[in-house]
Structure formats: structure tokens, C-alpha cells
Structure 1
Amino acid sequence: MKTMRVYITGMTCAACSSRIEKGLQRLEGVEQVSVNLATAQSVIQYDPTKLTPATVFKRIDQLGYGVEEGLTNPKKANEAEIRSYRNRFLLALLLSIPLLWAMLAHLPGFSFVWVPALLQSFYLQWGLASVLLFYVGYPFYYGAFQALKQRTANMDVLVVLSTTVAYFYSHYLMFRSDSSNQHIHLYFDTIAMIITVILLGKLLESIAKGKALKDLSELHDHRIRLIRVMHRKAEEWIPADKLRVGDIVVIQAGEWISADGIIESGCAEVDESLLTGEGLPILKSTNEYAYSGTRCLNGILHIKATCETHESRLSRMIAMVEEAQTNKPAIARKVDRVAAMFVPFMIACALITYAAWYFSSADDSSELAIRYALTVMLIACPCALGLATPVSILVATALSAKKGILFKHGNSLETLHRVNRILFDKTGTLTEGKPRLKTIQSPRHPSSYLLRMAAAVEKYSSHPLAHAITEAAQQQRLLIPEASGLLEIPGGGMKGIVEGKLVHVGHSAWIQSEGILLKGSLPINTAVENTGNVLYLSLERQAAGGFIFSDQLRDDASATVRQLREYAKVWMVTGDQLEPARVVAEQVGIEVVHSQCSPENKALMVSELRQEGHIVAFVGDGINDAAALAAADVGIAMGGGANIAMQTGDIVLSRSQITGVLDAIELSKRTMRNIKQNLTFALVYNSVAVPFAAMGYLDPRIACLGMAASSVIVVTNALRLQRNPIRSGS
């Protein structure tokens, strides 16, 4: 299966996005389709052996919409949309002024306003209304035609029906008045009001969506368009999409790094705050990784690209955010089903209103029937219903990305705030996953001497505990001697000759298998030894000392777990031995500990909790956590962990800060509350406004104002998420 992301133009309401989904799902080879109205994006999973992108594009075009493939900055599409609505609105306003001026002559209380005789001419009003309806309003007709062609209805159908009925009814009254010498009120000014106000509402809605896209656009802005590479010993600039694996990218001081790769030469301080949240610059030098989206503060770097631009860490982050915005949670799909029936239902309500007033005993019943049927169609707003969910998710996912929390699916955003069991892995999750030398115990030798001798052989090993010894020696600025005759025993240790002495460094079982007596020689208790975090050193086959290691607890682990216990019960599920697991659990305040769990046992435990009716979140970082992450209702992967864990998790904490779990839950809670507020407003608005319109309490002009305002209110409410940013421990 392949995944394709496209931008779609021409959508006006939830019925449009629903129609595109249904139309594409009918194509053979399409596995899954999701269309987001707020971002105008669609993610399509398809079988490339049965379907080509060209077929998908053709189908979208047949449905009456424009399409653009690729990962482009949504800000550009939004700016183009704003320009289009602004130009149409200004033209509509210019043509509407004479019609609205003439309308004042018919309003009680405005008789003092002078209205030129020319503006009261039926033929001038007819001409202006014709330009407004068939030129400025042409996109409404086009959208309605495409919708009806697919046997569906959207907001365009409501607008076209109401304005067309008003136009031809006024046309009929105008010529009947000429023959009967009667002076009557026409509805050309109503057409002007409808089109102008709806375009103003769409313009304000687009501007508000632009503000909602602000955070996502900032991520796009950090994607470099041109890259400087070394080619035949000379520097040249190439488009970003031409970058290939193995190219040498040149980065000068002050420039944004434009490719992911390994530093071939150079040394510089790099600002990685966009990706990691680390405020202080990090010194980067040869053989270390550098990432696009970070900034070289000083020095010059030559970076060998390890992936193409679309596979970079920054591009993957953007793709995760956009996928979360496009993949709809369950609540959004329910709303879409309601929205698909909304327009036909409102047309039926308008017909019933027309019939009720037409057969009533009121004077001018035919005119009242037309007026109030128009009002019913105008007051109804499927846009407010359709925007209620996607705009809130758009704001929330972009905001969370800036905090280093990447939601991969909308469902995880919907589910997370309801979890009542949170399971943590230990190593790399609650702890840093990097052992550090804690103490050195020896009855006879100085600690610095033992550290020098051990580092001499361990610097040639890639084992994590060996790295911890070497790092400790370097931090103490010890002079590490050379070693010869080196031999590494997998699972055992290292031995070699240092300063003429035979040195063994390793686990107790291997040391004793070499004929070296440990029991009673060193003051290390059994409990510490059972943790597996002890290495022994012998000199000339005599026990000399022991190195005790600890996996450093994350600074924010205790405070985070304490606050998470207010939301759910917190457990530790780890593959480590009981003793080190129990020590860490006591430090952070976790009461339930499951140790020595295999990957299968972790996944089984998650499944059993779900079968009992619990909503489970699992937080992990390693390959052994992948199955549990996939089995949980919400899998949360630490960004510094294994790739398979990040691929399996529903949420990725790119900054590897455990406070991200707390922030994600808080954001999930606030977002769902915001969505419910939007849906409640949209439903209450339509439930109250439509009966009022049908009973004759509203004028068509007021109705179109209400229709435009309801969409703007929904988007503005979603923007409140931006004004109250998430804070760790909030």
C-alpha cells in the first residue's frame, strides 16, 4: 500500500469533504480515504498495482474540485483562498451598495434617507442583481451543479436555491408590476445581501483558518528550498528535492541545516530547540548526526546526507502533524454523517414552510411563503457543523508539535483524556536509558587508579557499561594508558595487558570462570550484585574492586508520575530484574511493578486490561515495547528510542521529555472540550434558528448574517486553544 497526500480546492462545507471521500472510495484499489475540511487536505491509501495517482486526480476533478499533490506549505493555499474571497467580496460589496441604498426606501424609520430615483429603477436593480448572481455568484452555481451531479447536496445548493428563487420571483413581480402599475417590493436587495454577507463570512473564516494554520506553517517555513552541496570540489546550489543520499552539504555559520546526515568535517554549536526543546546549543563535530530544522550558530559543517529531503526528521514531523489533522476521530465521522443529511433536510423544511404559509389565511400569503422559505434555507448552516471538529484538531495538533508532542492519529487525541491505566516501561522511559558510573568500591586501591586501568581496556568495547567507564575517566580528566593483548568475551567482559599487568573487567560469573576469587574479597552486597549493574576488576588475577552503575532517573519523572496519578492508575511494566525496577518505582511513586516481562507478556498485559474494560496508555521507547505500544488504546513512544517504537506508537514525544505525557493528556482534554463546545453551539444554533425562521420571526437579510456569523464563531472558539498554551504540569 502507498499513501498519497493532496490539497483539494473548492470545498465549502462538510458535505463536500464527505462527497469526496465517498467518490474516491468507489475507485478500485483505494483502501482508505480521509478528507479534512479545515486544512483542505486528503490522505489516500491505495494499491499502486490497481490504481495510479492520475486516476485519483481525474476522479477529484470529475467531482468538481481542484487538486494539488505534495507536501506544500498550507499557508500559500490559505493566502490564495483569502485573496479570492477578498476580491469577490469587494466586487459584491460595490455592486450591492446601490441595491442596499434603494432598500432603505422600504424600511420603516428610514424615510428621511434620500434615495436617488435612478436607484429605485427596477431595471437597474435587475441588472445589478444579474451581475451579482451569475458572475460573482458563479462559483456557488458550479459547486451546486457538481454536488447535484453526484446526487448529493452541500451549502452551495442552499445558496443557489435561495438566491435563484428570489431572483426569478422578483423578475416575475417586476414585469407583473409594469403591466398593473403597482409599486411592490422586490428581492434583488436580498440577493445582494445574501451573496455579500456569505462572501464576507467565508473571508473571515479563511482568515481565522490562516491563524489556526500558523503553527504548522512555521514548521513548513523551516524546510529549506535550496541546498548548497559540494560537487567536483566546488560549491553549487540545488533544489531541495534534488538532494541524494551521499551528497556533501555545506553549512555556514548562522544558516539553517538543510539535510539530515553525518558530519564529515567541521565543528560547530548547533541550536536544536525546534526538534528537541533544548534551549542551550549543542557542540557537534565529526561523525555526529545533524538534522534539518536545526541551526548552525558558528563554524562550518560538511554533512554527508543519509536520506533525501522528504525523509528528513523535520519532514517526518510535518507529515505526522498533517496526518493527525487529516485522520478523523470517531466523533468527526459521526458529525460528517449528520452533515451529509443536513442540506436535504433543510430543503425539506423550506418546502414545508412554503406550503404552510402559502395555504395560510394571512394576507399576501404567496409572498410570505417565498420570504420565509428563503429565510429557512439561509439561516441553516452546515459549515458550522462541519468545522466544529477539524478546526479544533488542526489547532491542537499544530500547537502540540511546537511542544514536541506529535499526534499521529486524530483518534489518539480523542481517546487519551479518557485513559484510566498508564503503563510505563523503565529503561529509557522513566530513566535516561544510559548507565552511569555511580561508585567504585575497593578495599586497597584508589578509585582513580582502578578507573584508569579499567578504561584502558573498556575504551575498545561498544558495551554501554564500558562506555560509562570510559566517559567517567574522561570527565575526571584521567590519563588513560594504552592496552595490548585485548580480548572481549560477549556477555562476559574484557581483558588485556595494561602497564605490564593483566587486567580483567567483567561480570562476576565470567571473572570467577577465569579462576579469580571474588567471594569475600569485595564489600558489595548481594542485592546490589543482583541488579546486574556491577562490573568487577582484577589485577594479576586478584580481585581489586567493583564498579557500580545506575541508570539515571529522568529529572521530571517523579513530579510527572505524581500528577498522572490524578488521571489514572500508574504501573511499571519492565523487562528488568525486580530489584532495580523496585528501586526506580519507589523513587517515582509507582506502587504496582511487573518485572522480568518479555515483549509478549507486556502486550498480553495490555490486552487483558483492555478486555476488563480499562482504557490503556503504554509509554515506552524500545524494540521490546513495540508490541505493547500497538496493543494499547494509546501508544506513546519516546522520541529518542527505537525507530520501530516510534513507528508503532500513536503519539511520539520528539523531545523525549516524560512531561510530554502529562501535556498530551491535558491537551486532549481541552481539545475535546473545545470540540463539544463547537458542536453544542452548531446544534443549538440550527435547532433554535430554523424554527424561528419558519414561524416568520426572521427576515432573509438577518438570516444570511446569522449563517455567516455561526461559522466564524466556531473557528474563533477553536482559536482559543492557541491563546491558552499547554504548560507542563498544567
Structure 2
Amino acid sequence: MEARIDTKLEKKTFPVEGMTCASCASSIESMLRATAGVQEANVNFAGKTVQVAYEPTIIKPLQLKETVHEIGFELLVEEQTEQELEQREVASLHQLRIKTVVAGMLAVPVFILGMFFHGSFSWGNWAMLLLTLPIVVWAGRHFYTGAVKQAKHWRANMDTLVALSTGIAFAFSLFNTIYPSFFLNRGLMPHVYYEAVAVIIAFILLGKFLEERAKGRSATAIKKLMGLQPKVVRIIRNEVEQEVPLEQVQPGDLVVLLPGDRVPVDGEVVAGASYIEESMLSGEPLPVQKQKGDQVFAGTINQKGSLQLLARRTGSETILAHIIRMVQEAQGSKAPVQKLVDKIAGIFVPVVLLIAVLTLVAWLVFGGQSYWSEGLVSMISVLVIACPCALGLATPTAIMVGVGRGAENGILVKDAVSLEKAQHVNAVLLDKTGTITVGKPAVTDVSWAGGVGDKPALEQLFFSMEAQSEHPVAQAIYTHYKEQGLKAQQPDSFTSITGHGVEASFNGKNYLTRVAIIKL
């Protein structure tokens, strides 16, 4: 008899640092998928994350981190708060900005010397060497280290293209600077290409900086959803009201909700009554009445009343947290067209390397040794211009921005496959009034039954009563009569009858209003 062990897959999304192109994403995916215990791995290049489905009994997150580190990237498996991740991104972008500025400042004089004063000064080559050296060994260092790490696993990416093109040009120029007689004795000019090395690295750094800044901006939807969670929460512990960070709230805590507060947790009303604006969940902009025993959800907004909630779900267990995860997974999912792009990007770099080598060989075969320099420049040109970044970045960035903008407007997309299939939709059925209406009640017409008596006096009483109520319809009535110049009177007594209307007393007389809302 065979014992059967059921393995449970765990799916997690980890931030990734160090990706520079679509081939990087392809390398990470293939390395993780080839790791024992990993069932699936999908990299979101635009979002700089990887979603991994793995068997926790076989492999742990730290082992995943080591696997990714071997090919030159960093997988952040430790728990990171949104603030910590944002600080890392800001620091990384700041460092990239400094490298870009320094490389640009050094590249300008190298370019001027190489293009306009080439051979005019005996020390010109040495000056260009000194100016280019910091660009190669500091500003563009990560291109070379990344290419080496990729080469150890017989892989190639954009770093490989940049490292080969600029590295070969720099080494060739350095050789001709130190030992110019080698080519002179053979009747050839010892050309140097420092300006090409400096300008190429400077421009690629500028492109990476603009790309990283654009990717950072495209993640604003997630940050806005995160912003629906308050940072500090009022709770009652040991009969003492205190303010604690949101992370410290536990299921079972008694949460105090004041007018205007955002609901911090999913819970149940145990005291008080109010209206909660739940449009971020339901799409209905009209506030929903809440009283003892009703459920409330994190991210919704309390209106005018005060409530006490018994926390049921907190942190990552709330419905809002599930929505955020769903948006993140949708942004990181791949449409069918993206899978085709990934396949192309995966073989793109090796094909480019082959074409570059064939270019050099063709120059030498058909032109002879005298065309060595021209062949070298042509090979470098092939390596530089064949950057697959746009190919790999366009689709995931479009998906990330599209899903994010939809989330900002209350439209949640399940995944990129659904988004791509939406192009075939020719009819849409809407089942929520809030989807196509403003959601702000307003008085359009007023009709009074015959024989009501003194109409102006009744309107004054009606206005004064509704002015005391927080109901959305009452607010619409209040706004309507206020615009007509009426002034509210203070009632002797006032009672809000939940679900029915309001009752008030003026000068010893009791009045009752009943409001019926008919949804069409």
C-alpha cells in the first residue's frame, strides 16, 4: 500500500531588484522554473516583481533568493512594508540619477575631443582615457558584472550587449593608446573609440533612468489603494481608548470610528449607528446605513455617526487587502501576446550576438585586415542598437498602467488574459445603478397634496427637520431649500427613526416625515 502525500502549493509575489530588460525577466523565470519545488514563476518586468508558485515542503524563499542571486539579481523575500519598498526604490532611482549625470558630464568632453579634435593633441587619447575610465568602472560597472553573472550560466541579456559593445571598444582603444605602434607598423591607423564608449553608456543610463521613473509612476494605483488604509487606529483595550498603528490591531479588538474616518478593518458594528460610503466595494455611491450587528469593511468611509466595531479581519486578511493583491496579480499577469514577446526576447540576444560576429567576419573576409577597424565599429553598432528593452517593456507596462487606472476608477480586472479578451466585447450589461449615475441625490420636483394648508410654513418645517438628519436624501432636500433662501429652525426635540424617517417637535407640536426611496 502506497502512502500518498498531498503537497500544497504556496503562491507569493516577491520584489526583484536589478532587472534591466525583458531578457532579464526571461532569465529569472527560466532559472526559477528549473528549480526543484517551483511549479510556476511569472516576472512582471514593469512592476519589478515575480510571482512564484512553489511547494514549501521542498523549497524555501531563501533558497529562491539564492537561485536568483546566482544570475545577478536580488529577490527580496523578507517581509517589506510599502514604505520600505518605496524608500529602496527612491534610493535606487537617486543613485541611478547621480550615475547618469556624472556619465553625461564626462561624456561631453570625450565626445568633443574625439569628434572635433581627434589627433590634434598628442595627449588627446590619454585625456579621453582618463575621462572614460570612471564611466566604465563606476557608472556602467553593473553592465559588466551583470554580463559576467549571466555568462556563468550560459545566458545573455541587455547587459551582455552593452558590456560586449563598450568593453570591446574600450579594450581596443586602450590597446591603441598604450601600444599605437602595433597598427602603425602594419600601415593602419590606431583608432580609438572612447567617445563611443562614453556616449553609449551615458545614453543607456539616461534611458534606464527615464524608464525607471516611468515604471515608478505607473504603480500609483496600488499606492492609492494602500492609501485607503489609515495609518493610526483608535481602539479600546482594558477599557482604555488609545491610538495604535494599524499593524498592531488584532482580531477581537474594539475599534472606535469617528465621523469622517476610514474603516481600518473588516468587522461588526457593536454600538452606534451611521452611514458608510462603500463605493470602493460595491460601486454604489449612496452611503449604506449601518447599525448594531451590521458588517463593515476596511477602506470604506464613515459619514456623520460614531461607531464601535469588533475587528474580525485585519491586515492582509481584509477584503481591501485581497483587492490590492488581486490588482497586483493582474498587473503582473501575462496576456497571450506577452508570452509571444517573451519568447522572442529570450532568443533575441543570442541572435544579435551571432549577427554581430558575422558582421565582423564579413568585413574581414571581403575587405581584408585593413578593414579591421571598420568591421569592429560595425559589430559594436549592431550590439548597441539591438536593445530589446522596448520590445519587452511595452506590453507589461501597458497592462500595468491599464489595470491600475481601472482600479483607480473602481474597475477591477481579473488578469491580463481577460483584458485582452475584452477587445471582442460588443455589449455590456450593468447591474449597478452607481455604475452609470452620479450617485448624488438631488431634488428635481416638489409636489404637495391638495389641502395641505399653509404651504410656506410646512416647507419651513420640512426643511428644518431634514436639516437635522444625516441621511443622503435628507441632505438633498436640505440643499434644495437652502438654495431657495430658507433658514432652518432649531426643533424642541428630534428623533431619527432608522429606516423610516425623522420625528421632531416645534412649539409643542409633533411632526413626522417618512421617506420612501424607489430604485428603478
Structure-1-length-normalised TM-score: 0.54
1:103 is displaced (CA, Å) by: 2.6
Equivalence for 2:97: 86
1:45 is displaced (CA, Å) by: 1.4
Equivalence for 1:13: 21
* Partner SS state of residue 309, structure 2: strand
| Contact preservation (8 Å) 2:270, 2:292 | yes
* Partner SS state of residue 43, structure 1: strand
1:164 is displaced (CA, Å) by: 0.6
Q: 1:375 aligns with which of 370, 374, 381?
A: 381
Letter in 1 for 2:328: E
CA RMSD in angstroms, aligned pairs only: 3.2
1:86 is displaced (CA, Å) by: 0.7
User: Is 1:122 matched up with 2:125?
Assistant: yes
Equivalence for 1:41: 49
Letter in 2 for 1:192: A
Query: Structure 1 CA distance, aligned partners of 2:282 and 2:31?
Result: 41
Equivalence for 1:66: 74
Q: 1:396 aligns with which of 389, 394, 402?
A: 402
| Contact preservation (8 Å) 1:78, 1:206 | no
Q: Aligned pair in 2 of structure 1 residues 331, 475: CA closer, same or farther (>3 Å)?
A: same
Letter in 1 for 2:317: E
Task: State how 1:358-373 maps to structure 2 within 5 Å.
Answer: 358-361=364-367, 364-373=370-379
Query: Structure 1 CA distance, aligned partners of 2:363 and 2:10?
Result: 56
Query: Structure 2 CA distance, aligned partners of 1:75 and 1:217?
Result: 10
* Partner SS state of residue 305, structure 1: strand
Q: 1:152 aligns with which of 139, 151, 155?
A: 155
Task: State how 1:195-274 maps to structure 2 within 5 Å.
Answer: 195-274=201-280
Q: Aligned pair in 2 of structure 1 residues 319, 427: CA closer, same or farther (>3 Å)?
A: closer
Query: Structure 2 CA distance, aligned partners of 1:426 and 1:129?
Result: 64
Query: Structure 2 CA distance, aligned partners of 1:85 and 1:220?
Result: 27
Q: Aligned pair in 2 of structure 1 residues 226, 366: CA closer, same or farther (>3 Å)?
A: same
Query: Structure 1 CA distance, aligned partners of 2:171 and 2:221?
Result: 47
Task: State how 1:460-475 maps to structure 2 within 5 Å.
Answer: 475=500
Q: 1:103 aligns with which of 114, 119, 127?
A: 114
Q: Which runs of 5+ in 2 are unaligned?
A: 1-8, 436-497, 504-517
Equivalence for 2:415: 409
| Contact preservation (8 Å) 2:21, 2:158 | yes
Query: Structure 2 CA distance, aligned partners of 1:177 and 1:474?
Result: 94
Letter in 1 for 2:326: M
* Partner SS state of residue 34, structure 1: strand
Query: Structure 1 CA distance, aligned partners of 2:431 and 2:91?
Result: 49
1:362 is displaced (CA, Å) by: 8.0
Q: 1:138 aligns with which of 141, 154, 161?
A: 141
1:240 is displaced (CA, Å) by: 3.0
Equivalence for 1:351: 357
Deviation sequence 1:157-211 (CA, Å, 0-9, x none): 0000001100111012213336759985421111110110000001111122222
Deviation sequence 1:610-629 (CA, Å, 0-9, x none): xxxxxxxxxxxxxxxxxxxx
Equivalence for 2:462: none
User: Is 1:192 matched up with 2:198?
Assistant: yes
Q: 1:302 aligns with which of 293, 305, 308?
A: 308
| Contact preservation (8 Å) 1:2, 1:47 | yes
Equivalence for 2:346: 340
Query: Structure 2 CA distance, aligned partners of 1:6 and 1:196?
Result: 30
Q: Aligned pair in 2 of structure 1 residues 391, 403: CA closer, same or farther (>3 Å)?
A: same
Letter in 2 for 1:16: C
Query: Structure 2 CA distance, aligned partners of 1:425 and 1:38?
Result: 32
Q: Aligned pair in 2 of structure 1 residues 265, 152: CA closer, same or farther (>3 Å)?
A: same
1:400 is displaced (CA, Å) by: 1.4
Query: Structure 2 CA distance, aligned partners of 1:320 and 1:11?
Result: 23
Q: Aligned pair in 2 of structure 1 residues 121, 86: CA closer, same or farther (>3 Å)?
A: same
Deviation sequence 1:73-109 (CA, Å, 0-9, x none): 47555434422321210121232232123134258xx
Deviation sequence 1:561-582 (CA, Å, 0-9, x none): xxxxxxxxxxxxxxxxxxxxxx
Structure-2-length-normalised TM-score: 0.75
Aligned length: 431
Equivalence for 1:173: 176
Equivalence for 2:486: none
Letter in 1 for 2:404: A
Q: Aligned pair in 2 of structure 1 residues 244, 33: CA closer, same or farther (>3 Å)?
A: same
| Contact preservation (8 Å) 1:358, 1:368 | no
* Partner SS state of residue 406, structure 1: coil
Query: Structure 1 CA distance, aligned partners of 2:51 and 2:25?
Result: 12
| Contact preservation (8 Å) 1:75, 1:213 | no
Query: Structure 2 CA distance, aligned partners of 1:20 and 1:96?
Result: 33
Q: Aligned pair in 2 of structure 1 residues 46, 240: CA closer, same or farther (>3 Å)?
A: farther
1:253 is displaced (CA, Å) by: 3.2
Q: Aligned pair in 2 of structure 1 residues 75, 271: CA closer, same or farther (>3 Å)?
A: farther
Equivalence for 1:605: none
Query: Structure 2 CA distance, aligned partners of 1:263 and 1:382?
Result: 55
Deviation sequence 1:227-251 (CA, Å, 0-9, x none): 3322111233444333321111223
Query: Structure 1 CA distance, aligned partners of 2:279 and 2:88?
Result: 28
1:364 is displaced (CA, Å) by: 4.5
Equivalence for 2:64: 56
Equivalence for 2:484: none
Q: Aligned pair in 2 of structure 1 residues 60, 230: CA closer, same or farther (>3 Å)?
A: farther
Q: Aligned pair in 2 of structure 1 residues 351, 337: CA closer, same or farther (>3 Å)?
A: same
Identity %: 30
1:265 is displaced (CA, Å) by: 1.8
Query: Structure 1 CA distance, aligned partners of 2:297 and 2:106?
Result: 54
Query: Structure 2 CA distance, aligned partners of 1:177 and 1:171?
Result: 9
Letter in 1 for 2:14: V
Query: Structure 2 CA distance, aligned partners of 1:183 and 1:361?
Result: 16
| Contact preservation (8 Å) 1:325, 1:393 | yes
Query: Structure 1 CA distance, aligned partners of 2:149 and 2:243?
Result: 45
Query: Structure 1 CA distance, aligned partners of 2:20 and 2:351?
Result: 18
Deviation sequence 1:445-480 (CA, Å, 0-9, x none): xxxxxxxxxxxxxxxxxxxxxxxxxxxx965999xx
* Structure 1 residue runs of 4 or more that deviate by more than 6 Å after TM superposition: 424-428
1:123 is displaced (CA, Å) by: 1.9
Letter in 2 for 1:311: E
